[in-house]
Amino acid sequence: MTTQTDDEIQTDDSIDEVTETSTVEFNIVVTATDWSLNQLATMFQSEDIIVPDYQRKFVWDIRRASKLIESFAIGLPVPQVFFYENSDGQLEVIDGQQRITSIAYFFEGYFGPPNASGNRKVFGLKGLEQRRELEGMTFEDLDERTRRKLKNTSLRGVTVKQLTPEEEQPESVYHIFERLNTGGQPLNAQEIRNAVYRGPILANLEKLNKNPHWRAIYGKPEPDPKQRDIELILRLFSLFENVEQYSPPMKDFLSREMALNKEFDDERAARFIKSFQRVAKVVNEALEKAFRPRGLLNAATLEAVMGVLLELPKSFTFDSKMYDRLIVDEGFVEAISSNTTSRDQVLSRRHIAQQVLASNE
C-alpha cells in the first residue's frame, strides 16, 4: 500500500508544505479603531475600504445580513474586522468582508450588485427574531432614533500597515495575511500571494496556466479554483536559473520570488515564458500521465524534470525512456519521497535529473 507524500497532490487536496520553521519578525504598526457603522459604509462606498479581487465573493443572503444589522440594533457584540493598509492608503479587508459589505448594503438601501438588467434588490430586513417590528424595513424606513443609533454604533477595526519596504522583507506581508485571514474559508497560500503581490506576474502566470499542454500535464481541463496549478508554475519560475538560491521553507521562497518579480518584465521572465510553452508541449507529447510515480501528481518530480528541461537549449531531446530511467533512480526516488522541500532534496533531485536528462543534449 502506498501513502501520499507531502509533495503529492490530488485534485481535491492541497500541496502541503513539509514541516519547516522560519523566524519572521514583522516591522509593522497595528492600529485598533472603533469605526461608526456610518463611517464604514461611507468609506466602503468611496473605496477608501476595498474588498480586493482575490477575496472570495460575497456569499451572505439577506437573512444573514439582516441578523447582523439586528445584532447592532440590540447591542450584541460583533467580531472585529481586519484591514491591511496598502501603498495607496486604502484599507483592504483581510477578514470581515461579509460584515463590512452587509453594513454598506443596508445603509445604501440595496442588497447585492446589479443583475443583468441593471436592477438591484431592495434591502428590507428579513428573518428578524428580537426586533420583529423592523421586519421588511429598509434603512430609510426606520424611525430617526433607530437610524441614529445604527449610524453611531461602532465596530472595531484592526488595521495593519507594513513599515519595512517590501523589497527588504517581501514575504512579511504574506505572513501578516496568513495569520489574520481567519474567516469561514481562509485563503490558501497561493491565494494570499495573489492578494499581496498582485501585478503583471499574476496575469502572466494565469496566461501560462491556460496553456493546453500544461492543462493536460496538470490533469484538469479548467484552472484550479484553489490556485494549486498557478502555484506549481510559480514554483518552476522561482527555481528557473535560480535553484542554487533556494532556501526553505518553500512557502516563503515562492512568496519572496513573487514579490521581487511582480513586474515580470526582465529578460529572465521572457526566457521563462518561451521555455515554459516549449517544454510543456514536449512533455505532454512524450509522457502519458506525467509526473505520477505513485498515481498522484508529484510536485517534486514535476519541478525537477521540467526545471531541468526549462534550462536546456531549444534543441534538447526528451522521451519517455529518459523519464522512466530517471524515476527508478534510487537517489531520485528518495529526493521526491520525503522532506521534499528541504534544500538538500531540492538540489539532489535537480542534480540527478540534470545528469539523466541532459546527457543526450
Q: Which amino acid would we find at residue 259?
A: A
Which residues 6+ apart lie within 8 Å of 133 measured at CB?
none
- What's the rounded Cα separation, in Å, for the pair 351 and 92? 43
Q: Which of 132-136, 241-245, 288-292 has the lowest mean pLDDT?
A: 288-292
The pLDDT, as a whole number, for residue 1 is: 35
> What's the per-residue H, E or C state across 257-275?
HHHHCCCCCCHHHHHHHHH
Helices and strands (H, E) in the chain, number of each type: 15, 9
Per-residue pLDDT, 8: 57
Q: What are the CB-based long-range contacts (under 8 Å, 24+) for 302-306?
A: 302/217, 302/232, 302/236, 303/232, 303/235, 303/236, 303/239, 303/346, 303/349, 304/332, 304/335, 304/336, 304/349, 304/350, 304/352, 304/353, 305/353, 305/357, 306/236, 306/279, 306/280
Residue indicated by cell numbers 424595513: 137
> Range with the lowest mean pLDDT among 23-37, 117-131, 180-194, 314-328?
180-194
Q: Residue 271 corresponds to which cell in the numbers above? A: 526566457
**Among 278, 197, 286, which residue's Cα sits nearest to residue 238?**
197
| pLDDT(272) > 80 | yes
pLDDT tens for 52-108 read 766 667 889 999 999 999 999 999 999 999 998 887 899 989 889 999 999 999 999
pLDDT band at 21 (very low <50, low <70, confident <90, very high): low
Can you give 177-211 as a three-state secondary structure string? HHHHCCCCCCCCHHHHHHHHCCCHHHHHHHHHHCC
Q: Would you kindly state where each structural domain of the chain is located, as residue ranges? A: 8-16+188-357, 28-162
Q: Please give the pLDDT value at position 163.
A: 79
- In this model, does residue 184 exceed pLDDT 80? no
- Could you tell me what percent of the chain has a pLDDT over 90? 69
State the pLDDT at residue 13.
Answer: 33
pLDDT of residue 3: 41
pTM above 0.75, yes or no: no
**Beta-sheet pairing, 49-50 with 8-9:** unpaired
pLDDT confidence of 16, banded at 50, 70, 90? very low
Sequence length of the chain is: 361
Output the CA torsion 285→291→292→298 (10° steps): -150
